[in-house]
Structures are given as C-alpha cells and as structure tokens.
Amino acid sequence: KSRPVFSSMYCVNNVRRKWKELEKSLGYAEGLPSLGGDPDWASYTLGVFICLSCSGIHRNIPQVSKVKSIRLDAWDEAQVEFMASHGNDAARAKFESKVPSFYYRPTLSDCQLLREQWIRAKYERQEFIYPEKQEPYSAGYREGFLWKRGRDNGQFLSRKFVLTEREGALKYFNRNDAKEPKAVMKIEHLNATFQPAKIGHPHGLQVTYLKDNSTRNIFIYHEDGKEIVDWFNALRAARFHYLQVAFPGASDADLVPKLSRNYLKEGYMEKTGPKQTEGFRKRWFTMDDRRLMYFKDPLDAFARGEVFIGSKESGYTVLRGLPPSTQGHHWPHGITIVTPDRKFLFACETESDQREWVAAFQKAVDRPMLPQEYAVEAHFKHKP
C-alpha cells in the first residue's frame, strides 16, 4: 500500500509507525464496502478514510469535511494524530448510531443523489445522532408538492402528494382544492426506484403500483435533493411498517430487502406476438422481480404487456436463440422463454445484451416460487 506524503516537520520513522497503526485500525472506508471504492482519500476533520467517489461529495460540505489525498498531499503531525485517534469504525459508531432500519444505505451502483444525501444526512445534518431530525420520513404522514410527468403529453406539472400510513396509501391530487385524489396507490403494492437517466432529471424517481393487477408507472422529481430522498425513505418507512403488521414474526433483516427494489434489468429488445408469424417490434423491457413488462416508450404509464416468469419447477425455461423457423427479427441475438402456456420470443441487438437478459431471466427461473407468487401467477393477465 502506498505511503502518504507528510510535511518535513514530521519525521519519517514516526510516519511509518503511525501509518501502520492507522492501517490496523482503519475500519472500512466511506465507500467500503458499502460504496465499494479504494480509500485513497481522507477527511482530516472527520477522521475518516474515503474513496474517490465520496471525496467529491465531502468537498461539497467544506464546513464539515476537509479532504486530502493520502498519497499526494502533505500532512502534518496533528492531522495524522487526529486520524489515528478517530478512524472509520469510531465515526460509524458516532454518526450512524441511530439509522432507522428502513433508511436506504446506498451502494456504489446507486445514483449520485442517494450517495450525496446519505453523506449529508450523516455528517452535515447528523440525522442519525438526533432521531428528532428523522421526522420528515418517519412520522407516518407526509404531504407536499412534486413535479409529476403527465401521462399523455409528457409535461411535468406540480401535483400535491399525500402519504398516509394510517390509510396505507400514497395519493396525488390534480388540483390543490380537489376533494378526491386522482390516484390512490396502496403501500402494499408500491415500489420506488431512482431513475435519473430515464426521467432526464438527477432527482428523478419512478413509482410503480398495481392497478387492476397491472403495473402503473408514475415519474416524479423535486428540485431539492433532500426532499425527494426524504419522500423515498418515507415510502420505505411506510412499507416497513405495513410489512411488520403483515408478517409479525419476521425480523427487520427479512423485511428490509422488500421495502424497495431496483429493476433486475431494463433495455430494448424486439418481440413478436403469440402466433409468432407477425414481425418483431422494438420495445422497452423492464424486469421487475418476476414481472417482465414491455412498453412502447420507457416513460409510458402502462405496460403494453406483462409476462410472468416462474421457476423451473413450475415449467419455465430460458433458452439462448430462437426456433429455427423464426423470421422477421432485425436483431441477431435471440432468447426464448418457455412457459407452461406458450413460448415468448425476443431478439437483442448485441451479444452482451443477450447475455445480461438471459442471466436476469435465469435468476428468476432458478429461484423457487413463494406461496404468494403462485397467486400472482394465477391472476396474471398477459396482454399479447
């Protein structure tokens, strides 16, 4: 491991001795393993080692965190002593002492917004030292205005949203004075996932819920990063409290993975209809747990169709390639999904797309079905 550069006032032997002590007591850095980077940087005011990705965020809060390179910057004796007497484990014990179970802890693959707001919540606002600061997402009720994408015209308009755990629902209203909500989304079937690239805004959040057993998408954002992340964690809190009641014997560790989920895979493929005689059409596909949905446009409110992907024990198989007689596809890399009722044929533009889609489908097929998933399968409506 490279040694840091220190100013001449600090003798080399002391540096080496102190650095060895530091390495032993380092604890994983900000970004390790939760964010996955190498600790080439350190905050010498917080006493924590951080990865390159997090160092940029720390630089944006200079009133709290001042950053130096471990290898390239000069360090003085007091700074090294401070690092030695603090470290990541000590910082975690202090700044993460009261993180609610439902609060989302980002990973390196998460968007910039989630990572930035986690670091700001922890060090700048100190929300996990003082639980009263968690009220915006843990009170069980939240209301406010969010920009929502119109279903038909694609314009974002300000809409009032109300989250109420007591009613088990997220609602939004088309007018400020409206008595009745435009939509009521049950917490039981709700999911939220940040989709900045797809929505075209760094704070873009996709919320999905079931309407008549079909998935409905809404796309929202707030100009203030803290606000939209607070909404996200409020939705997770509501899901957490709903699941605690629904599954009274379950531990927090069992429930937390069910609070929100990112999609297993998204992207364009070609598909053909059930008779497999009509031409292939390019569609946007989203793999959400066992639901494979396809859309004409990535920002459509409703899927054109949904395919349930069960387990191999229930007669589902994923195959590379297409049946020999298949015609009409423009893209060369085929995939066949065999279900108890029929075969679904898809084509990918590249081999790497094919490989990733097959892996996502295989993951679902290899996983035994849960009792409640048989009910979903039974009620599943596929729109050809």
Residue 32 predicted with pLDDT over 60: no
Q: Is residue 2 part of a domain?
A: no
Is residue 27 pLDDT above 80, yes or no? Answer: no
User: Phi/psi at 269 (nearest 5 deg)?
Assistant: -140, 165
Same-domain pairing of 124 and 144: no
* Average confidence (pLDDT) over 125-152: 96
For residue 114, the number of C-alpha atoms closer than 13 Å in the C-beta half-sphere is 21
CATH (domain of 337): 2.30.29.30
For residues 38 and 35, give the distance between their C-alpha atoms in angstroms, rounded to a whole number: 9
Q: In angstroms, how far is the first alpha carbon of the chain from the final one?
A: 58
CA 86 to chain centre: 31
CATH code where residue 89 lies? 1.10.220.150
Q: Judge whether residue 114 has pLDDT over 80.
A: yes
**Domain end point (choices 218, 236, 258):** 258
pTM to 2 decimal places: 0.87
What does the pLDDT average to over 140-164?
95
Are 199 and 179 in contact, with CB atoms under 8 Å apart?
Answer: no
The total of structural domains in the chain comes to 3
> Over the stretch 315-346, which tens digit does the pLDDT of each residue have?
999 999 999 988 889 999 999 999 998 899 99
Q: What is residue 247's predicted lDDT score, i.e. its pLDDT? A: 92
Domain edge (last residue) among 202, 231, 258: 258
Bond prior to 33 in cis (omega within 30° of 0): yes
pLDDT tens by residue, 185-235 = 999 999 999 999 999 999 999 999 988 878 899 999 999 999 999 999 999
State pLDDT tens for residues 94-113. 999 999 999 999 988 899 99
Query: Which tens digits make up the pLDDT trace of 50-106?
Result: 888 889 999 999 999 999 988 788 888 888 889 888 888 899 999 999 999 999 999
Show which of 87, 110, 131 is a domain's final residue: 131
CB 347 within 8 A of CB 269: yes
pLDDT single digits (tens) 214-223: 889 999 999 9
Domain of residue 168 covers 139-258
Whether residues 293 and 240 fall in one domain: no
Kind of pairing, strands 41-43 and 48-50?
A: antiparallel
Contact 156, 149 (CB under 8 A): yes
